[in-house]
Structures are given as C-alpha cells and as structure tokens.
C-alpha cells in the first residue's frame, strides 16, 4: 500500500486493516518491521530510525512496551523493560565509554 504522504506498507491485512506481519517505510527513511494489530505496531518488531538508532523488542499500540533493546547512534545502549515508550523498570544502560 502506497500512502499519499509517501509511506509504504507491505504485509498482511485483515478487514482492510494492517494485521499480522508487515514492513512500513516512512518518508524520512525510518522503518518498522514486525507485527501489527488493528493497524498499529504491536507484538515483536524492530524500529529503525533514519538517524541510525534501532529498537528491537516488544510493542503495544505503537509504543515500545515490554522487553527490548535500544542502540543509539553514538554507541549508547539500553537493554531492559519499557513502558509506553520509555525505559522503565529493570534494565541496563551502557554508555559509549562502557560504563553502566
């Protein structure tokens, strides 16, 4: 599906809604690959930002939620729990200099 704003979605549908596995590419170069429920990222997926950041893990209603790993463009990373898009709960943040 090509959208008027330049987005592209390739994947599974159910009742004219993105549902199941799919890939969505945004006009700015960001990309999501993973599961969809009711048209939104939900379940396991990977989000690639155009600037090089990556999040791999669980999503709910388009938010990073559950267990996941984020890698920043300058070498920082966080592996742990996420709640509605924010690192929250048990996790380990590693700075680019190796400190945790």
Write out pLDDT tens, residues 8-55.
Answer: 999 999 999 999 999 999 999 999 999 999 999 999 999 999 999 999
User: What is the pTM (predicted TM-score) of this model?
Assistant: 0.92
What's the rounded Cα separation, in Å, for the pair 83 and 86?
Answer: 5
Q: Within a domain: residue 39?
A: yes
For residue 99, the model assigns a pLDDT of 82
Token representation of residue 49: 């930002």
Q: Within a domain: residue 62?
A: yes
Q: Within a domain: residue 24?
A: yes
Q: Give, in order, the Cα–Cα distances in Å from 22 to each of 2, 75, 90.
A: 13, 28, 30
Q: Within a domain: residue 72?
A: yes
> Which residue's entry shows tokens 């969809």?
36
Task: Report residue 97's pLDDT band, with 50, 70 and 90 as the boundaries.
Answer: confident
The CATH number covering residue 58 comes to: 2.20.110.10
Q: Within a domain: residue 2?
A: no
Q: CA triplet 8, 66, 38: central angle to 5 degrees?
A: 40
Q: Within a domain: residue 79?
A: yes
Structurally, the chain folds into a number of domains equal to 1
Q: Within a domain: residue 56?
A: yes
What's the rounded Cα separation, in Å, for the pair 12 and 35?
Answer: 9
Q: Within a domain: residue 99?
A: no
**Residue 90, domain extent:** 8-94
């Amino acid at each position: 599906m090509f959208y008027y704003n330049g987005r592209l979605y390739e994947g599974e549908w159910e009742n004219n809604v993105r549902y199941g596995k799919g890939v969505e590419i945004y006009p700015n170069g960001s990309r999501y690959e993973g599961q969809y429920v009711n048209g939104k990222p939900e379940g396991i997926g990977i989000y690639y930002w155009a600037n090089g950041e990556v999040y791999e893990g669980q999503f709910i209603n388009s938010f990073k939620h559950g267990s996941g790993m984020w890698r920043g463009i300058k070498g920082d990373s966080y592996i742990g729990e996420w709640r509605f898009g924010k690192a929250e709960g048990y996790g380990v943040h590693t700075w680019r200099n190796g400190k945790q």
